[in-house]
Amino acid sequence: MYKLTTWFLAIRPKTLSLSMTPVLVGSTLAWVDACDCNLIVFLITLGTALAIQVGTNLYNDAVDFERGTDTPNRLGPKRVTAQGWMNGAIIKRGALLSFSAAFIGGVYLTWIGGWPILILGVLSLVAGFAYTGGAKPIAYSPSGELFVLIFFGLAAVMGSYYLQTGNVSASSAYIGVAIGLLASAVMLVNNYRDLDTDRQCGKLTLVHYLERRQSRVLFGILLTLPFLLPMVLQQTRAWLVVGALPISLYLILRFVREPPGQGFNTILAQTVQLQLAYGALLSAGLLLST
């Protein structure tokens, strides 16, 4: 029996807030707009989003090792399959179990939200597999950051909002983009760190095409644009997100100055934390606006 700590490492717990934050913010906006929020729907939405991310992370762990992308000497955090701590087939079964849990949650959410949620759920599950699976994986192309923007931003925020209100709004779309941009920045950090080893195994990400200099510019854009969000929202307390701006500026400065290497593991973790802080401040601002 494999240790729980090994499974814990495999699901990449430090990144799981990427799927939690958009559900929290989308549901908070729904509560502010509709003055109501179904707690059961919220919890199942949160659990389903987490299950999809966990399944994606596990499948990525196994497949990246099989493709030769992840080795015991990778710059990023250790991967359990590459380290030989767990068999890839076991990891894939764990991914299937997680995707199955997401499917079960999706059935309930489809009953609540109808065919739009059915379509979104199917696309999310397919995208979770296609991220590193199939002949042309998303993660091995320049579309990885766009994938994250859509599914960890727009789809998650607007889907959560729709499940609570039965409709979508311009505000949910704006917020979805803001949250998604910060999530995309996490992907960019990961690909920037691994650029050299990714190229060796044919993993040609957006950073490969932009090169390092333009990637640094893009990182700055991804971490500053979300702070323009309060200018397009009616809720004036949304300006609370500015409290996270110093963290953003610090990360931009560090990203520019840090030489490629393991130092980017810390930058990646802190970028995840930035998105969580931004989402928490935004949610608090929205609640205080009522």
Please report, for the chain, the start and end positions of each structural domain, with discontinuous segments joined by +: 18-288
Which of 162, 47, 156 has its CA nearest to residue 100? 47
> Are the CB atoms for 285 and 241 separated by under 8 Å?
yes
Is the pTM value of this prediction over 0.85?
Answer: yes
Check residue 153 and report its DSSP letter: I
DSSP assignments along 55-119, one per residue = HHHHHHHHHHHHTTS--TT-SSS--TTTTTSS-HHHHHHHHHHHHHHHHHHHHHHHHHH-HHHHH
Mean pLDDT of 260-275: 92
* pLDDT higher than 60, residue 113: yes
Provide the pLDDT confidence category of residue 1 given band limits of 50, 70 and 90: very low
Q: Work out the number of other CB atoms within 10 angstroms of the CB of residue 108.
A: 15
Confidence of residue 86 (pLDDT cuts 50, 70, 90): confident
Higher pLDDT, residue 157 or 86: 157
pLDDT, tens digit, 9 for 90 and up, residues 135-166: 788 888 999 999 999 999 999 999 999 999 99
Contacts 24+ apart (CB under 8 A), 102-105: 102/48, 102/51, 102/52, 102/55, 102/128, 105/44, 105/45, 105/47, 105/48, 105/51
pLDDT confidence tier of residue 64, bands split at 50, 70 and 90: confident
C-alpha–C-alpha distance, residues 128 and 156, integer Å: 13
Residue 234's pLDDT is 67
What average pLDDT score do residues 57-81 get?
79
Res 132: pLDDT:
79
